[in-house]
């Protein structure tokens, strides 16, 4: 016959032993589950990768060398003469020494009529251009291929551009709508380019977000005829040149405001 005290002690230890074995079993299962959710740290790192970097104020010499790179809109399609396209007109608007490199039908994914896609074209650019500023425009031509491989193609092209002209400032000019309402894929391209440019601290101009082309001025900007085929008319190119010039000037005016700002000893930097 067992003493009552010893029996009660055994009964108290049995549940404790069972709980301990259960904990060990759960730990073993957790270690053996490769499908288990990863720790929180990688998720934080992914969020950090998409954080926007504020672009530095744009500073240019008095007569900068500027490369305007893009698709048929840069080429000057539908203008009476291609040299009346908005990219060429920027030289007059802002007093730039402009090199224009536009290939009709091209994009980051799509080869063009007169040349390959953006990445291959960038690899072939003459280093002797040595631009102070590069404006990369477009492109609505990728809207049938987006989104598969799009962001990868953009990043590869921009990496190549930065490596080829490391001293240049890059401004990305997003796609402008050739039809209204703006196509869903065109909006998605605009959003992708905006995010990718922000992650590099590059200036981004969005003709869509800034409503450069609206129902009120659409027919004044876009030639919808057989020759124009939804490209800017000669007058439309002049309008686009003015809008791009205003956007660039706004970037440089920020530098002047900062330079002229009075020093406030009590001001606290953000």
**Which domains does the chain possess?**
65-255 (3.40.50.1110)
- Segment 15-41, tens digit of pLDDT: 434 444 444 443 443 443 333 333 333
**Better-scored residue on pLDDT, 256 or 58:** 58
> Does pLDDT of 3 surpass 90?
no
> Does pLDDT of 46 surpass 50?
no
Q: What is the pLDDT of residue 112?
A: 98
The predicted model gives 2-25 an average pLDDT of 41
> Does pLDDT of 186 surpass 90?
yes
- Write out the DSSP string of the chain: ---HHHHHHHHHHHHHHHHHHHHHHHHHHHHH-TTSPPPSHHHHHHHHHT---PPPPP---SS-EEEEEESHHHHTTTSSSGGGSHHHHHHHHHT-EEEEEE-TT--SSS--SSS--HHHHHHTS-GGG--SEEEEE--GGGTTTTTTTHHHHHHHHHHHHHHHSTT-EEEEEPPPPSSSSPPHHHHHHHHHHHHHHHHHT-EEE-TTTTTSS-TTTHHHHEE-STTTSSEE-HHHHHHHHHHHHHHHHHHHHHHHHHHHPPP-TT----
- Segment 74-133, tens digit of pLDDT: 999 999 999 999 999 999 999 999 999 999 999 999 999 999 999 999 999 999 999 999
């Amino acid at each position: 016959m067992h003493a009552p005290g010893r029996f009660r002690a055994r009964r108290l230890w049995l549940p404790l032993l069972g709980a301990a074995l259960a904990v060990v079993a759960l730990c073993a299962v957790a270690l053996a589950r490769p499908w288990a959710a990863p720790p929180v740290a990688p998720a934080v790192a992914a969020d950090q990768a998409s954080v926007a970097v504020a672009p530095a104020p744009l500073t240019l010499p008095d007569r900068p060398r500027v490369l305007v790179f893009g698709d048929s809109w840069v080429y000057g399609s539908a203008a009476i003469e291609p040299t009346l396209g908005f990219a060429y007109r920027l030289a007059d608007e802002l007093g730039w020494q402009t090199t224009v490199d536009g290939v009709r039908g091209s994009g980051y994914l799509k080869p063009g009529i007169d040349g390959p896609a953006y990445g291959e074209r960038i690899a072939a650019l003459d280093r002797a251009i040595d631009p102070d500023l590069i404006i990369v425009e477009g492109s609505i031509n990728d809207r049938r291929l987006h989104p598969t491989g799009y962001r990868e193609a953009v990043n590869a092209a921009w990496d190549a551009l930065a490596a080829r002209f490391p001293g240049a400032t890059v401004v990305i000019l997003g796609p402008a709508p050739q039809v209204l309402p703006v196509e869903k894929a065109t909006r998605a391209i605009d959003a992708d380019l905006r995010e990718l440019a922000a992650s590099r601290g590059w200036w981004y101009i969005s003709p869509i977000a800034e409503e450069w082309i609206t129902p009120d001025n659409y027919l004044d900007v876009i030639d919808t005829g057989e020759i124009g085929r939804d490209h800017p008319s000669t007058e439309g190119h002049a309008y686009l040149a003015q809008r791009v010039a205003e956007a660039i000037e706004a970037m440089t005016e920020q530098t002047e405001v900062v330079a002229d700002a009075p020093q406030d000893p009590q001001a606290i930097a953000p």
